[in-house]
Amino acid sequence: MPSLRVLPDRFTLEHQPGATFPEDDEWVALVRAPEGLTVLRHASPFAGPDAERWAGFYGDPHGLDVPGVLASVVGPLAGASIPVFVASTFHADLVLVHEHRLELAADVLRDAGHTVAA
């Protein structure tokens, strides 16, 4: 099981229908799909209380040829009915959960055998 760490940052997600690139450069990750652009950003400390904030788990670096790493994280979370958003990098996966579910998600992942560090 990969070790996971909780990133100190919080994130927001937005969907921009029809966009091919955001109008600014304040983004962390972009995913372009036929239905538009998904933009992952650092959450603003000035966002209102209703802003949907996501917390991230980031795993140990692993090769692209190692099967099942992402499944070992999202599987237990799905079993606990915790929605996720995933942004994969060349080295590891960033698995986001709603901020208010962070502690529950960490407990679920520990119960599944992962080491989770803050």
pLDDT in tens, 11-48: 999 898 988 788 888 888 888 889 888 999 989 877 66
Name all domains of the chain by residue range, CATH numbers in brackets. 4-117 (3.30.2130.10)
Report the pLDDT value the prediction gives residue 49, as an integer from 0 to 100. Answer: 67
CA distance 20 to 30: 10
Q: How far apart are the first and last CA of the chain?
A: 17
Query: What is the average per-residue pLDDT within 41-70?
Result: 83
pLDDT tens digits along 80-104: 999 999 998 888 899 999 999 999 9
| 114 to 39, 53, 106, 110: CA distances (angstroms) | 28, 24, 9, 5
Q: How many whole angstroms from its chain centre is CA 39?
A: 12
Q: What pLDDT is stored for residue 48 in this prediction?
A: 67
pTM: 0.87
What is the rounded distance in angstroms from the CA atom of residue 97 to the CA atom of residue 104?
A: 10
Q: Which stretches within the chain are classed as H helix?
A: 69-79, 102-111
